[in-house]
Amino acid sequence: MRDRIKELEYFNNFINEDLARINKFKDKLERGEVKQERVFAVKAKMHDLKLGILIAKYSRGDDILTLKEDYLKLVDDWEEVWEAEYYNKILKMLSLAVLFAIEKTSVDKIKNLLEKSNIDDWLLAFLINSFSGEQTEENKNLLFCEAFYTLKKVVYKDNKIELLKEYLCKEWYNKDCGCYEAHKSKQNIYYGYWSFEAGAIAKILNIDDRNLTDAPYYPYDLVHYIK
């Protein structure tokens, strides 16, 4: 178990419930029971559920190599359900790409989606550019400055570990976070509060994060995963 908030039984139930939902959607699609104008939304929902399951499996303690295989399947299917306005999902997927150290063919798929969408954002650019070694200009636009400015400072300032701690402990999990207090819900909607973007930045910069081993929300073993 990597998560400290829920027990193993919870994540087993979460994963089984969402797998059942995916299979239900899949059956309806195969039987032609979904109106044409709803097909995209249903497929996008299935993709979202699969991403949630992947994160829940990480919280549960599943093997990283197996999780990477699940992730690569999500990348392969992403173009069909790509939504450029879904920033948080793009950030999760791109951060996981860094953490899983994915291969060039999968990187290129994500890069093409970003380029086609003309998304002008420093954080997404920094993450995708890390694969090619391309520099990202410091003055590039940051779409959600209030949420991620401290992460940007991690890249350009000297006190990197202190800023990373500040982001993780004071900024990442807050009332404006879309998943805030999900673990208190009567429904099984919680899959973990992991800050994959913080982990991705730490991995790219090779930050000495030994004192973050037990930090909340920090995916320490993923940061140190080597393909």
Other C-beta atoms within 10 Å of 161: how many? 15
For the chain, how are helix, strand and coil distributed in percent, rounded to 5?
A: 65, 0, 35
Q: Give the model's pLDDT for residue 227.
A: 66
- For the chain, the average pLDDT equals 94
DSSP 151-208: HHHHHHSS-HHHHHHHIIIIISSSTTSTTTTGGG-SSS-------HHHHHHHHHHT--
Residue 179 has a pLDDT of: 77
**Residue 173 scores a pLDDT above 90:** no
